[in-house]
Amino acid sequence: MKHIVKEDTNLLDVIMAMYKGISRPTAKQILAYSDILVNGKSIKKSAILALKEGDQIDLTKRDKDAKTPKIGDYTRSISIVYEDDHLIIAIKPAGLITSKDRTQPSIIAFHKILEDHLAKREGKPERIWSVHRLDKEVEGLVLFAKSEEIQNTIKENWSNVTKKYLALTEAKPAQESGTIENWLMDSYKQKVVSFKKEVENSRFAKTEYQFLETIGAFHLLEVKLHTGRKNQIRIHLSEMGCPIVGDYKYGASDTFKRQIRLAAYQLQFDHPVSGKALSFEYRPHKKFFNPIEGDEKYKFNLRH
């Protein structure tokens, strides 16, 4: 399998680009069970091996363990937070899209991975319906419905659902708390742009934030969504001078190119059938708060 490196990066990220939708552990497995040439020369395989734009990669898999990952390869790491006859809440890892993308049908979606997991567990086909989405590089709580009727009920009352995120940013906001309101619109460059006033095809967006603490060189914010527009948190924090670590698309340093340090960590809503108040919280792994691995000064201790 051949691949031309499109930007300066490392070997592991190149493998993830070659096999779109796979996780880092799967990419490491492919690395371990493959013969790799860089510009025609054998190299000492290392996940952090630096590669430059224009480098040619030739990858040959040596055995079945290095096959292109299938949906079933992901099911071992499924983490379900809550499930009943009507709902299921699970943790979506960074690196997977939430639901099938018609523009990229070959990419594995977390939605289908979860369906496959349920089908294997129950011994029969299972179907679930997406209620909302997280960006590909965002991790955390995702809510699915077990029927289209329940999906519609939740969507109709989505404004009543409390949705909070943790964002690790490169800068501390000038004001420790505040609300950002403007209008957002997709641009031709696949980025979202904002406007102070409503323009044609724009949609109103409202984000509330609260500074929590400084962690080494970074800053942790709790973010509450009042609307759910594409890339809303990412562009709002970027525009106030606090880009999210890893989000170089919206102004962050490109030192950390893979995961955007944004996590959907809290969901609160009334059950669509019983009316019971439900509240769920997800705590990201310590590596989420520690982009510079092994550096003691970035150790994280979240205080509530």
What distance in Å separates the CA atoms of residue 225 and residue 213, rounded to the nearest whole number? 20
Q: Can you state the percent helix, strand and coil of the chain, rounding each to 5?
A: 25, 35, 45
Determine contact, residues 55/4, Cβ cutoff 8 Å.
yes
Active site residue 247: no
As to burial, measured by CB atoms within 10 angstroms (0-12 exposed, 13-18 middle, 19+ buried), residue 209 is buried
Distance from C-alpha of 151 to C-alpha of 104, rounded to nearest angstrom: 24
Residues 6+ apart with CB under 8 A from 277: 268, 269, 270, 271
Buried b (16+ CB within 10 A) or exposed e, 161-180: bebbbbbbbbebbeeeeeeb
Q: Do residues 186 and 230 lie in contact, with contact meaning Cβ atoms separated by under 8 Å?
A: yes
The catalytically annotated residue of 35, 63, 84, 135 is: 135
Contact (Cβ atoms closer than 8 angstroms) between residue 62 and residue 45? no
The answer to whether 116 and 75 are in contact (CB under 8 A) is: yes
Running DSSP on this structure, what letter comes out for residue 73?
A: G
Check: CB of residue 78 under 8 Å from CB of residue 90: yes
Read out DSSP for 186-202? Answer: E-TTS-EEEESS--TT-
Tokens at residue 139, please?
């991790």
Nearest C-alpha neighbor of 171 from the set 121, 239, 107: 239
**Residues annotated as catalytic (active site), given as ranges:** 135
